Amino acid sequence: MAILACATLPLLGSCTGAGQSAPAPQPTVQGQSMQHMLADLDQIRAYAYGSGSQKDAESAAVDLTSWSQRIGELFPPGQASTEYVDMSYERARDAPAAMRSSADRLLAAVRTGKPPTVSKQVAATERDGCGFCHRSGSH
């Protein structure tokens, strides 16, 4: 009887899912927005470096502009300033305008069709738009 119990227990464990890892958590809408915005910047950067098309870059810039218009909704200042350790209320409050303005300038740069202009504006967007939140205030 003891042998039967010992032989059966491992089989029962496999039926209940023991030993399986839990599924990975799904990204939040905020996390998804950041993933989309990064993918957009990467697409625009590819155009600036000569490996992407202006059409694809413009589509990405339009998408980036759209996402940037939702920053205030996705990261409300009162909530973002408590959920993110280095985010002050003022920084969270001013971030949406900084990102919108930067994304608008990037879209305009893409529409010029001049990769060097786009490259400069990608750097400015990363510094002044994305960097408004993602860089320390001391940099």
Are 44 and 109 in contact by the 8 Å Cβ rule? The answer is no
**Tokens of residue 119, six digits:** 């490259």
pLDDT band at 12; cut points 50, 70, 90: very low
Q: Give the residue extent of every domain in the chain.
A: 30-134
Q: Cα separation of 98 and 81, whole Å? A: 17
Tokens found for residue 136: 């320390």
More confident residue, 9 or 87: 87
Which CATH fold would you assign to the domain 30-134? Four Helix Bundle (Hemerythrin (Met), subunit A) (1.20.120)
Find the mean pLDDT for residues 35-59. Answer: 97
pLDDT value at 101 more than 50: yes
Q: What is the mean pLDDT of residues 61-66?
A: 98
